[in-house]
C-alpha cells in the first residue's frame, strides 16, 4: 500500500516567512470577551431541540391570545344544533383529513352537510355546540396563566426564604431548614388535594394549592447556592470594602444564583401545568364554564368514543407544551450550569 516517494519536491524558499514572537503580546486577549448571558444564549442557539421548543412555545403563546380573537365564535357560546361536529378546515379538507366527516351509527358521513351547517369549525365543536378552536386556545391561556403565576410565586417565596436561610446561616438557618424538612416530607399530591378541598374551586384555589409547599424546592436550591458563594473570596472582598448586606445579596450573590433560579423555574412551570390538568381531570379543577386544558381533556375523555377530536386537540396541545418546556429546561440547564462549562 505504501507508495515510495522517490524524490521530495523542492520547496521554494519564498513560501516561508520568518516571524518573531513578541513576548509583550503573549497575554493579549484575542477573542472578544463573552458575558455569561451571551455565552448561555450561544449555547441555547446551538441546542436545536431547545431552540425549536422555544419557537414552538412562542407560537403557542401567541395563538393562546390570538386564537379566541380570530375565531368568529365565543368560547362559551352554545349552539346546540351544531353539537359534536368534527373539525373542518378549508383547503386542508381537500386532502381527506379534517374535512368534517365523522362516524354516525357506524357510517362515515359529512356531518356538516347532514346538519346543514354552512360555517367551518376548525377544531370542531363539543357536546354543547361550543367552538373547540376558541375553547382550546382560551384553555391554553388559562393553563399557562396558572402555571406562570404559580411558578412566579414559588420563585419569589423560594428565593427570599432560601436566600435568608443561606445568607444568615446559624440558628436562623437551622430553624428555617427544620420547617422546610417537615414541609417537603408531605407529599405534594396530598397537600394539593387537601387545599383544593377547603377552598372554593377555581383559578385562585389551584394557584394557592400549587404554591403552598411548591416553593420548598426553590428555597433549597437557592440556599445551597448562597451557602456556596457567600464563603468565597469575592464576597469577603466586598465585605471588607464595606458593602452592606443588601448590596452583597443583590449585586454579588444574586447574579451568581440567577442561573439556578431560572433553571428551577423552567421545571416548575411544566409541573404546575401538569398538576392543574391532573386536578381538573379528577374533578377538582376549574368549574364550568371556565375551561383549562385539563377540563377540556376531561370533557373530551367522556366523548372519546364518538368524537375523539374533542379530546385530541387539548391533549396534543398540553403534550406539546410539556415537551417544549422540558426541552427548554434541559437546554437552559446545559447552557447555564457552570459545571457543564468546558
Partner 1 sequence: MAKYIGKRLIYMVITLALIATFTFFLMKVLPGSPVASADKLSPEQRAVVEARYGLNEPLPVQYFNYMFGLVQGDLGISINQFKGANVTDVILSRMGPSAQIGFQGMLLGTVLGILLGMIAALRQNTWVDYTSTFVAIVGISIPSFVFASLLQYWFGLKWGLFPVALWKDGFMSSVLPSIALAMFPLATAARFIRTEMIEVLGSDYITLAKAKGASGSEIAFKHAFRNALIPLITVLGPMAVSILTGSLVVEQIFAIPGIGEQFVKSIMVSDFSIIMGTTIFFSVFLIVIILLVDILYGVIDPRIRLSGGKS
Which has the closest alpha carbon to 158: 260, 73, 86?
260
Segment contacting partner 1 by CB under 8 A, of 20-28, 85-93, 240-248, 324-332: 324-332
**Interacting residues with partner 1 between 197 and 216 (CB under 8 A):** 197-198
Q: Which stretch binds partner 1 (CB under 8 A): 110-118, 237-245, 246-254, 280-288?
A: 280-288
Q: Any contact of residue 190 with partner 1 (CB under 8 A)?
A: yes
When asked if residue 66 is in the footprint of partner 1 (CB under 8 A), the reply is no
Strands 107-110 and 101-104: antiparallel
Q: State how far the Cα of 110 lies from the Cα of 104, in Å rounded to an integer.
A: 9
CB of 300 to partner 1, least distance (A): 8
Question: In whole angstroms, what is the distance from residue 255 CA to residue 242 CA?
Answer: 19
Q: Is 127 in the site for partner 1 (CB under 8 A)?
A: no
Residue 187, interface with partner 1 (CB under 8 A)? Answer: yes
Nearer CB in complex with partner 1: 159/310: 310
Q: Of 36, 145, 168, 278, which one interacts with partner 1 (CB under 8 A)?
A: 278
Which grid cell sits at 47? 441546542
Nearer to partner 1, 191 or 243 (CB): 191
Figure out which of the listed residues 63, 152, 193, 238 binds partner 1, where binding follows CB under 8 A. Answer: 193
Query: Which of 98, 297, 310, 335 contacts partner 1 by CB under 8 A?
Result: 297
Q: Is 106 in the site for partner 1 (CB under 8 A)?
A: no
Close Cβ partners of 213 (under 8 Å, ≥ 6 residues apart): 183, 184, 186, 188, 191
Shortest CB 325 distance to partner 1, Å: 8
Figure out which of the listed residues 59, 114, 237, 304 binds partner 1, where binding follows CB under 8 A.
Answer: 304
End-to-end CA distance of the chain: 41
CA-to-CA separations, 161 to 164, 245, 260, in angstroms, rounded: 5, 16, 15
Under rule CB under 8 A, residue 152 binds partner 1: no
Segments of the chain assigned E as strands: 101-104, 107-110
Where helices occur in the chain by DSSP H, the ranges are 36-46, 48-70, 111-114, 132-168, 170-185, 188-198, 203-211, 215-230, 233-240, 245-247, 254-281, 293-302, 308-336
Going by C-beta distance under 8 Å and a sequence separation of 6 or more, which residues neighbour residue 75? 68, 130, 131, 134, 135, 138, 291
Query: Which region holds residue 91: left if phi is over 0, alpha if psi is between -120 and 50, else beta?
Result: left
322 binds partner 1 (CB under 8 A): yes
Do residues 277 and 292 lie in contact, with contact meaning Cβ atoms separated by under 8 Å? yes
Choosing from 176, 210, 249, 318, the residue that interacts with partner 1 (CB under 8 A) is 318
Residues 6 or more apart whose CB falls under 8 angstroms from that of 109 comprise: 101, 102, 103
Name the helix (H) or strand (E) containing 230: helix 215-230
d(CA 222, CA 215): 11
Q: Is 33 in the site for partner 1 (CB under 8 A)?
A: no
* Contact between 182 and partner 1 per CB under 8 A: yes
- Tell me how far, at minimum, the Cβ of 32 lies from partner 1, in Å: 30
Q: Which of 205, 226, 260, 315 binds partner 1 (CB under 8 A)?
A: 315
Output 125 or 271, the one with its CB closest to partner 1.
271
| x/- letters, 227..266, toward partner 1 (CB under 8 A) | ----------------------------------------
Residues of this chain that interact with partner 1 (CB under 8 A) are: 181-182, 185-190, 193-194, 197-198, 270, 274, 277-278, 281-284, 297, 301, 304-305, 308, 311, 315, 318-319, 322-323, 325-327, 330
Amino acid at each position: 500500500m505504501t507508495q515510495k516517494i522517490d524524490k521530495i519536491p523542492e520547496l521554494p524558499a519564498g513560501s516561508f516567512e520568518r516571524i518573531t514572537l513578541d513576548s509583550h503580546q503573549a497575554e493579549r486577549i484575542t477573542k472578544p470577551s463573552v458575558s455569561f448571558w451571551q455565552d448561555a444564549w450561544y449555547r441555547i442557539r446551538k441546542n436545536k431541540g431547545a431552540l425549536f421548543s422555544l419557537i414552538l412555545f412562542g407560537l403557542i403563546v401567541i395563538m393562546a391570545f390570538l386564537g379566541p380573537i380570530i375565531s368568529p365564535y365565543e368560547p362559551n357560546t352554545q349552539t346546540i344544533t351544531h353539537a359534536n361536529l368534527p373539525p373542518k378546515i378549508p383547503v386542508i379538507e381537500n386532502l381527506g383529513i379534517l374535512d368534517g366527516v365523522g362516524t354516525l351509527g357506524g357510517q362515515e358521513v359529512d356531518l356538516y352537510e347532514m346538519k346543514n351547517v354552512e360555517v367551518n369549525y376548525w377544531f370542531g365543536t363539543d357536546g354543547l355546540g361550543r367552538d373547540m378552536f376558541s375553547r382550546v386556545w382560551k384553555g391554553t391561556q388559562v393553563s399557562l396563566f396558572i402555571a406562570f403565576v404559580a411558578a412566579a410565586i414559588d420563585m419569589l417565596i423560594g428565593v427570599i426564604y432560601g436566600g435568608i436561610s443561606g445568607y444568615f446561616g446559624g440558628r436562623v438557618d437551622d430553624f428555617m431548614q427544620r420547617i422546610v424538612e417537615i414541609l417537603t416530607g408531605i407529599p405534594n399530591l396530598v397537600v394539593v388535594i387537601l387545599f383544593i378541598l377547603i377552598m372554593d374551586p377555581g383559578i385562585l384555589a389551584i394557584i394557592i394549592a400549587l404554591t403552598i409547599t411548591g416553593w420548598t424546592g426553590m428555597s433549597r436550591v437557592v440556599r445551597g447556592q448562597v451557602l456556596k458563594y457567600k464563603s468565597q473570596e469575592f464576597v469577603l472582598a466586598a465585605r471588607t470594602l464595606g458593602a452592606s448586606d443588601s448590596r452583597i445579596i443583590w449585586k454579588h450573590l444574586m447574579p451568581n444564583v440567577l442561573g439556578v433560579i431560572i433553571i428551577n423555574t423552567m421545571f416548575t412551570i411544566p409541573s404546575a401545568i401538569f398538576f392543574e390538568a391532573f386536578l381538573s381531570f379528577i374533578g377538582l379543577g376549574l368549574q364550568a364554564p371556565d375551561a383549562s386544558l385539563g377540563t377540556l381533556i376531561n370533557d373530551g375523555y367522556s366523548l372519546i368514543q364518538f368524537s375523539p377530536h374533542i379530546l385530541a386537540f387539548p391533549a396534543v396541545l398540553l403534550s406539546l407544551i410539556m415537551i417544549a418546556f422540558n426541552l427548554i429546561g434541559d437546554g437552559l440547564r446545559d447552557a447555564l450550569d457552570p459545571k457543564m462549562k468546558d
